[in-house]
Structure 1
């Protein structure tokens, strides 16, 4: 799954990316946007690949798999994202690391993802806290 996801990303192919998911799959992105169903996952990634990530590269760094049964497995993957489009007042976005959790199920047509969750890796932080102005900030209680 991680390799196929990265290949569809690199090809800027939202159809190939969506085809990795079951028709009623769930997907939660790094900021908590929650898409229900393959069509919504395709639509969100078509936009993202065309606008937010049009010149980006997504590389698989490391994966781990844990089979829960003969037909269900959980795959975690660390990805490196480079080349994100300028957005949010940042002209040259830096590289990002992200960890995906994929819940995969084997059916008659092979392995498909039932649920995916993407989480940004925030170096030096152990949680987020909401500031009085409403923004979320990375925080580390170990540095008190």
Structure 2
């Protein structure tokens, strides 16, 4: 694996992920993770080590996202201690590869990175990526497909959603 600059500020993490993604560099993505890191993708696939995180992203960047681009839209850091932070990052994805006749539109996702500082640099120990659908939950239909749904009958807000703005 080639060498990548160490992360000195945890706020860099979503942007390092974006940069590596936009270069289709799965090694660059894996480089921000610890050897025993966990990663859960938008489909619920769960990997628990840097090698599998690299392999999964290498496949994805070659077959699913080979023309895609990521853009970090918004971030929020929550410091738990001098050596542990949580980073939320709202990210836009464009250019996903079509699947048969299915067109792939723009997507927004919410990443959560948990990072730890070791030897004066930061690495991700856990990450999860969730599609932002704008609905309340998902429901599995009779055919087995998972679809986002809302149980509200009108557009009134129940709570403040940071993905919908203030």
In the superposition, the TM-score normalised over structure 1's length comes to 0.95
Question: Following superposition of structure 1 onto structure 2, how do residues 1-144 of structure 1 map, counting pairs within 5 Å?
Answer: 1-87=13-99, 89-90=101-102, 92-108=103-119, 110-123=121-134, 125-143=135-153
Tell me which stretches of 4 or more aligned residues in structure 1 moved more than 6 Å. none
Aligned-residue Cα RMSD (Å) equals 1.2
Kindly tell me the number of residue pairs found equivalent between the two proteins.
142
Instruction: Please list the CA deviations of residues 44-63 of structure 1 after superposition, one character each: whole Å capped at 9, or x if unmatched.
Output: 00000011000000000000
Partner SS state of residue 133, structure 2: coil
CA distance in 2, matches of 1:70, 1:110: 12
CA distance in 2, matches of 1:89, 1:70: 50
Partner SS state of residue 81, structure 2: coil
Partner SS state of residue 59, structure 2: helix
Instruction: Please list the CA deviations of residues 53-106 of structure 1 after superposition, one character each: whole Å capped at 9, or x if unmatched.
Output: 00000000000000000000000000000011112531x311000000000000
Structure 1: give runs of 5+ residues left out of the alignment.
Answer: none
Using the TM superposition, give the Cα deviation of residue 109 of structure 1 relative to its aligned residue in structure 2, in angstroms: 5.8
CA distance in 2, matches of 1:8, 1:68: 27
Structure with more strand by fraction: 1
